[in-house]
Amino acid sequence: MDFRGISLTELLVQKNNPQDVINYFYNRTKRHNDAINAYLYVDESEPIAKKNRVSSLLNAIPLALKDNILTKHQPTTAASQILSNFMSPYAATITHKLTQAGATILGKTNMDAWAHGSSTETSDFGITTNPYNVAFVAGGSSGGSAAAVAAGLVPAAIGTETAGSIRGPASWSGVVGLKPTYGRVSRYGIIAMGSSWDCPGPITQTVEDAALLLEILAGVDRYDATSINAPVERYKKQLEENKKFTIGVADEYFDGVDKDVMKSVDSSLSRLTKLGHRIKKIHLMHPKYAISVYMLLQRSEVSSNLGRYDGIRYGKNRSYFGQEAQRRIMLGSYALSTGYYDKYYKKAQKVRYIIREDFEKVFQDVDIIFAPTMPITATRIGDISSFSFYGEQMDVLAEPAAAAGIPAITIPAGIDHKGLPIGVQFMGPYLGESLILQAAYQLEKEIQFDRLSVMKKYE
């Protein structure tokens, strides 16, 4: 049977033989992964549907994990040569939750090394290409997860986001990407990039699948002091409530946005109005301010987090760090050094707090916020060298929500004149996942994005 293009939720409803589903995606991955380099690791022996999983929630359906998420006794490299031989002695909390729910982990996906990037071009194990056109990037740093879902190599995958690393590649690869509220999903067992920013989340074919996986992933974790102790809502069931929202739209998020992207934004706004939602003009801090905040704070945290990779405890020595990691370590160390801490790091923390307050003020007048996900569609492979601070410029519209720690979701909304996907996003208040999921679900049904045509390229 051909399971290509069938969503995770649809696979569960169909109640297919679990081993047939595993075999299909395993064989499809083996045939087509070389074309896009989405996976860094796939089990050499064909995965088996374990008996204790067959009747469980996810019915042994295969999923993929970004390769900075620990899996017990399997490679976890963070796409860096430093960890090329690293085998974790324990699994991340989200890995454990997924397998307990019955998922089969098909493999580990490519990413920018240490999650440092927005195109998956900094991976030490080769670039992940865009399934729509392999001359273009898939986005990053969760590019492998997004490309695997878009090409139909797996029904759904898990990525991580620090400031756009789920929403960016999901937008450029034409799939759904959900960044939860910071702390809604445990970070335990995830190789840290920016500890006060990192958020794991699902990358899926549909909003319904994202809601289903969030229910499994969310919750307090005794191993993660930053996880939120709040009830996990029934996100999937809430999708059918058909609520009408006041949706904020800020002109500040349209500066420098490509005209094809704006066409999809305008079309989406028209659809939302038709659905009965109220569109309200709002004012937010310009996203450009989040660039400086993210650049300073994230690199400061990188310089601290990467200090453990000294070749003594585990992994290879620091000579194996790539250029991007070296740049971030140097800038972060500079920002934290004596005489510059107050001038750079402390000031950036203050501005981050102002960004959060700005969102809180706006959410007193609107339920959610709508905006483009990325200012342009996917760039060509190699274009990263044409931009100073490429990632910050590409992720400029995603960074404010990440700085504030609020949830956001991107869905595919159209195709540009080059045949590349366009994404639009909803941002919600703290722990407002249910609101953005419901709005995205309603818009998704109106758009009816064709997700099957790209999969047909990989027969």
Distance (Å, rounded) from C-alpha 248 to C-alpha 271? 15
* Strand-strand pairing, 104-109 and 62-66: parallel
Write out pLDDT tens, residues 145-157.
999 999 999 999 9
**Residue keyed to tokens 């990263």:** 384
Element containing residue 282 per DSSP (H, E): strand 278-282
- Answer yes or no: is 20 within a domain: yes
Average pLDDT over residues 122-126: 97
pLDDT confidence band for 387 (50 / 70 / 90): confident
Whether the pLDDT of residue 190 is over 90: the answer is yes
54 has pLDDT over 60: no
CA 284 remoteness from chain centre: 23
| Whole-number CA gyration radius for the chain | 20
Q: pLDDT at position 214, please?
A: 98
% of residues, the chain, pLDDT over 70? 98
What is the SS3 assignment for 294? helix
Tell whether 222 is covered by a domain.
yes
Query: Per the structure, how many domains does the chain have?
Result: 1
Which one of 66, 97, 108, 179 is the catalytic residue?
66
Residue 59: strand, helix, or coil: coil
Give residue 315's pLDDT. Answer: 84
At residue 386, the pLDDT reads: 83
> In angstroms, rounded to a whole number, what is the distance separating the alpha carbons of residues 42 and 121?
20
Per-residue confidence (pLDDT) for residue 181, from 0 to 100? 98
CATH for 450: 3.90.1300.10
Residue 89 falls inside a structural domain: yes
pLDDT at 52: 55
How far is 69 from 108, CA to CA, in rounded Å? 8
**Burial class of 7 by CB neighbour count within 10 A (0 to 12, 13 to 18, 19+):** buried
Residue 173: asked if its preceding bond is cis (omega within 30°), the reply is: no
Confidence category of residue 249, pLDDT binned at 50, 70, 90: very high
Based on the number of CB atoms within 10 Å of its own CB, is 233 exposed (0-12), middle (13-18) or buried (19 or more)? Answer: middle
pLDDT value at residue 256: 94
| 328 band by pLDDT with thresholds 50, 70 and 90 | very high
Q: What does the alpha-carbon distance between residue 384 and residue 310 come to, in Å, rounded to a whole number?
A: 28
pLDDT reading at 379 higher than 80: yes
How many CB atoms lie under 10 A from the CB of residue 32?
19
The mean pLDDT value for 134-159 works out to 98
Q: CA-CA distance, 130 to 143, in Å (whole number)? A: 9
Compute the half-sphere exposure of residue 428: CA atoms within 13 Å on the CB side of its CA.
21
| Tens-digit pLDDT profile for residues 29-45 | 999 999 999 999 997 76
pLDDT score, position 453: 96
Domain that includes residue 102, residue range? 8-243+370-455
pLDDT band, residue 63 (cuts 50/70/90)? very high
Please give the average per-residue pLDDT across 205-210, as a whole number. 98
Q: What is the pLDDT of residues 257-281, one digit of tens each?
A: 999 999 999 999 999 999 999 999 9
Determine which one of 7, 88, 165, 186 is catalytic.
165
| 294 occurs within a structural domain | no
Q: Which residue has the higher pLDDT, 312 or 243?
A: 243
Whether 123 is catalytic is: no
Give the separation between CA 160 and CA 167, rounded to whole angstroms: 10
Give the pLDDT mean for 381-406.
Answer: 92
Summary mean pLDDT of the chain: 95
SS3 annotation, 327-370:
HHHHHHHHHHCCCCHHHHHHHHHHHHHHHHHHHHHHCCCCCEEE
Question: How far from 192 is each of 330, 349, 356, CA to CA, in Å?
Answer: 17, 19, 22
Q: Active site includes 281? A: no
299 is written with which tokens? 């690199």
pLDDT-derived band at 392 (thresholds 50, 70, 90) equals confident
Sign, CA torsion 364/248/206/40: negative
Which is the catalytic residue, given 80, 119, 123, 141?
Answer: 141
Element (H, E) at 149: helix 143-150
Answer yes or no: 165 catalytic. Answer: yes
Q: At what angle do helices 207-217 and 93-100 cross, to 10 degrees?
A: 110
Is residue 156 situated within a structural domain? Answer: yes
In a domain, 359, yes or no: no
Structure tokens at 11: 């696979």
Residue 323, domain member (yes or no):
no
In a domain, 307, yes or no: no
339, pLDDT greater than 90: no
